[in-house]
A and B are shown apart, each in its own frame.
Chain A
Amino acid sequence: MKTFLIRRVLTAIPLIIVVTFITKALLVASPGNYLDSLKLIPSISPDYIAQMESKYHLDSNNVFERYWYWFWPALQGDFGFSFTKSASVWSLIGERVPNTLLLTGSALIFSWVFAIPLGMIAAVHRNRWIDKIIGFISFFGLSIPSLFFSLLMILFAAKTRLFPVGGIHNQVMWDSMSAWERFVDTSWHLVLPMIVLGTIGLAQYVRQMRSEMIETLSQDYIRTARAKGLSRWRVLTRHALGNAINPLITIFGFSLASLLAGALLTEYVFAWPGLGTLTFDALINKDEPLVMASVVMLVLMLVVGNMFADILLGIIDPRIRLE
């Protein structure tokens, strides 16, 4: 277990270096920089701009040089200051990461909690009407563009006034709320974006769960267990489920990237103050330090998520040893 963790962390390092280098190279290649917008403001003196330019090495077009000026301080934990928000990059990201984790985490729980029973029901009642309905729902979930789905949800929220139309909490009342009220308020704001983001995964997991379950149920040991006189329920939950769920966890590792990409759109539409919208704004404004730190954060989230999936697989499947 220990060697496994150490090796995973070590393999993540070249990944982070490659990805940040590509990002830096693309940022250097992109025409213009943040200072261009400052140059248009007459009240900002050219001296100040020249000072900024040399301070952040924006005058150099050498990718390796620019990367090094970012990499060396970053290695020591200094990710610099945001150009646009005049705050340290870490504090900005630190504010947003919990929000993104809350959204993606609850979306994941949402999709798993519904996908496993639905997939099992569909497999057990294969080719019956209930299987067809579940199949239709999962196909619907797989095909509905999350952008369109988000907008439909906001329309629903605005028309019925059952849910807030966006944001993470009630801005006006937030300061006067008790801890419990804050929890309820945040959960209330979370429901719709969670459903939107969770539906994509839900559809994938249901289909996978169904086919794995059908495969597992046709195995000899299931017939043996039934022949032994075990109840159907016990065979399903104790014998079949554990075996059918393995590939799902592998898929979970793969789908993290698409979950984070989906989170960007969902956050944008629901005005959810997460890492996705922060990164997008930083990109649009050419806020280089912020973009770089967000990319590092995204890759870290992916690596940790995948590691988590592997550990989970090791716990559920005793045949897999983490070494």
Chain B
Amino acid sequence: MMLKQNKEVTLVAPDGSSAEIVVDAVERVAPIRGRSPSEILWLKLRRNRTAMIGLYTLAVMYAAAILAGFIAPYSYDNARHDLPFYPPMIARIHIFDDEGNLSRPFVYHLIPVDPQLATYRDDTSRRYPLRLFVRGDSYHILWLIKSNIHLFGVDEPGHIFLFGSDKVGQDIFSRILYGAQVSLSIGIVGIIISTIIGMIVGGIAGYFGGATDFAIMRIVEILLALPSLYFILILRQSFGTGMSSVHIYFIIVIILAFIGWATEARVIRGMVMSIKEQEYVIAARAMGFSNARIIIRHILPNTLSFVIVTATLSVPFFILSEVALSFLGVGIQEPEPSWGNMLVAAQNNRYLTDFPWVLIPGLFIFLAVMSWNFLGDGLRDAADPRTLS
């Protein structure tokens, strides 16, 4: 009714600008009718600026993680032991030459003065222009494409350490990109597994109720009541040590999913309990459908928008847990980088004060967590039916 009235008002409105506002209002509200909950969620989310900033930032970060080999000028384990703690060169890319004329970006050759103290000086007689699509270390993209062409780089023997180099002379910028593959993907993989477990367990608890519900909810309560990091560490120790990083990666994902499903299950159980009383579910039951079919085909799809919200808000937990484990030395092991094990260098007070660029991976953890929070907050607002109008 309201929509129709609005439209009529626009037709008779004498003033052009006000007519536009009303038309705008109609266009904003009207598409909601006859659309699926997920579509409504997306339409409302698109209007939330911070959520969209979060979404775009994440899109860039995840794309960069996938294309890490191409964007990174070096391989993650390309160590130049003669160049430890090389300062970040992002501020040392020159675009003016000695005469002050604009030239293509270049870097000077840096000579180690005292490798023990990690001091360097510029050799202004030798300069290396920044070049696009240079050949260097070979890499794989998604295990499929093998190449050795990098987005940018400088010719040997020059070096381009955008964010500086670490203790053994590895490029921090490249390692952040490779580390993103671990730290960012654990969030996604972990949340998918724990959401599936949470949906199944929560669906069963909510649908059947009674003793099943009671038993499941006691387990959920214990999982939620425990300080997760301790539990994660105890679980981690039960797998032993001395494994490859790939192996550890899967162990971490399994452990985190094993703990993370509880939040999802609690939310879904509550929703299922209210949905199962609705007429269409009763109708489905009267038609003789099996319980599994009713839960999977009829009830769970209706919880989807809330599942997405809870899942998005839980991703930081997975990212931060991996970072914590790797930082504590029981996660991803060197030379494979993760944002957590890269920060270990900052544990050393001398490294931290003299070479503060070892903290840069922390900035990216912050950025990723904040973007997920932005997106999750936006999704929560969008999924709230009270904001529909």
Query: In the complex, are the beta carbons of A139 and B234 less than 8 A apart?
Result: no
Helix, strand, loop or mixed for chain A's interface? helix
Interface members, chain B 347-363 (any A CB < 8 Å): 347, 349, 352-353, 356, 359, 362-363
**Within the assembled complex, what's the spacing in Å between the Cα atoms of A167 and B228?**
25
Give 6 closest A-B pairs by Cβ, nearest first.
A148-B362, A143-B370, A261-B227, A261-B229, A31-B240, A26-B238
Identify the closest chain A residue to B372 (Cβ): A143
For B159-172 the 0/1 string (1 means CB < 8 A from A) is 00000000000000
B-binding residues in A (CB < 8 A): 15, 18-19, 23, 26-27, 29-32, 139-140, 142-145, 147-148, 151-152, 154-155, 158-159, 165-166, 254, 257-258, 260-262, 264-265, 268-269, 279-280, 283-284, 286, 291, 295, 298-299, 302
**Within the assembled complex, what's the spacing in Å between the Cα atoms of A26 and B365?**
30
Partner of A257, one of B227, B320, B349, B370: B227
Residues of chain B lying within 8 A (CB to CB) of residue A302: 225-227
Identify the closest chain B residue to A260 (Cβ): B227
**Within the assembled complex, what's the spacing in Å between the Cα atoms of A26 and B228?**
15
Query: In the complex, are the beta carbons of B228 and A258 less than 8 A apart?
Result: yes
CB of A104 to closest CB in B, whole Å: 11
Residues of chain B lying within 8 A (CB to CB) of residue A23: 234
Query: In the complex, are the beta carbons of B230 and A279 less than 8 A apart?
Result: yes
Partner of B238, one of A19, A29, A152, A298: A29
**Within the assembled complex, what's the spacing in Å between the Cα atoms of A302 and B221?**
13
B366 at the interface (CB under 8 A from A): yes
Residues of chain B lying within 8 A (CB to CB) of residue A26: 234-235, 237-238
**Within the assembled complex, what's the spacing in Å between the Cα atoms of A32 and B349?**
34
Query: In the complex, are the beta carbons of A154 and B349 less than 8 A apart?
Result: yes
B307 at the interface (CB under 8 A from A): no
Residues of chain A lying within 8 A (CB to CB) of residue B323: 145, 147
Query: In the complex, are the beta carbons of B238 and A280 less than 8 A apart?
Result: no
Interface members, chain B 329-379 (any A CB < 8 Å): 330, 340, 343, 346-347, 349, 352-353, 356, 359, 362-363, 365-366, 369-370, 373
Query: In the complex, are the beta carbons of B359 and A261 less than 8 A apart?
Result: no
Q: Which interface residue of A26, A145, A151, A155 has the most chain B CB atoms within 10 A?
A: A145
Query: In the complex, are the beta carbons of B227 and A145 less than 8 A apart?
Result: no
**Within the assembled complex, what's the spacing in Å between the Cα atoms of A128 and B52?**
22
CB of B317 to closest CB in A, whole Å: 10
Interface members, chain B 161-199 (any A CB < 8 Å): none
Interface members, chain B 308-327 (any A CB < 8 Å): 316, 320, 323-324, 327
Query: In the complex, are the beta carbons of A269 and B347 less than 8 A apart?
Result: yes
Query: In the complex, are the beta carbons of A30 and B328 less than 8 A apart?
Result: no
Residues of chain A lying within 8 A (CB to CB) of residue B226: 19, 257, 299, 302
**Within the assembled complex, what's the spacing in Å between the Cα atoms of A262 and B228?**
9
Residues of chain A lying within 8 A (CB to CB) of residue B281: none
